Amino acid sequence: MTQNERVKEVRKTLGLTLEKFGDRLGIKKAAVSKIEKGENSLTDANIKSICREFSVDYMWLTTGEGEMFVETDDDFFERIDRIMAGENETRKNMIKMLLYASDDDIEAFDRLVDYYISLRAENKKD
């Protein structure tokens, strides 16, 4: 997938028209259309604007590697707030456990997670 195709994928994923997408970037809908079709090159300024305005990952947009969107701190805190206000006690307790764990506990937990991941990878090979 080209950079131009990834721009279209971002716009479609966000459910924006060419006009609305362009308005947020300060360019006309015709310019967005030409970028998506590969008729116009994607400039560094366009790339930076898309990443900033829509929380798109720079590496994904330029190379296709990684995830389309980056998670902002606001998104992260909002998700934690929803968990803590919800009724799922297991999720709440997991967050509390990590919050109050010592550095040694966190390192031990990290080793356990790594070990679990390696076991899963071995099981998938079999």
Report the pLDDT value the prediction gives residue 53, as an integer from 0 to 100: 93
The residue to which tokens 């479609």 are assigned: 12
- pLDDT for residue 23 is more than 90: yes
Give residue 91's Cα distance to chain centre: 22
pLDDT category, 35, cuts 50, 70, 90?
very high
- pLDDT for residue 51 is more than 80: yes
Could you give the 3-state DSSP secondary structure of residue 115?
Answer: helix
Could you give the 3-state DSSP secondary structure of residue 7?
Answer: helix
Per domain, the residue ranges of the chain are: 3-63, 73-125
The set of residues, in sequence order, having a beta carbon less than 8 Å from that of 18 and lying 6+ positions away, is: 11, 29, 30, 32, 33, 36
**Section 32-57 average pLDDT:** 94
Where do runs of H (alpha helix) occur along 26-102? 29-37, 44-54, 58-63, 73-85, 89-100
pLDDT category, 124, cuts 50, 70, 90?
confident
The reported pTM is 0.60
| Topology (CATH level 3) of domain 3-63 | 434 Repressor (Amino-terminal Domain) (1.10.260)
- CB 59 within 8 Å of CB 65: yes
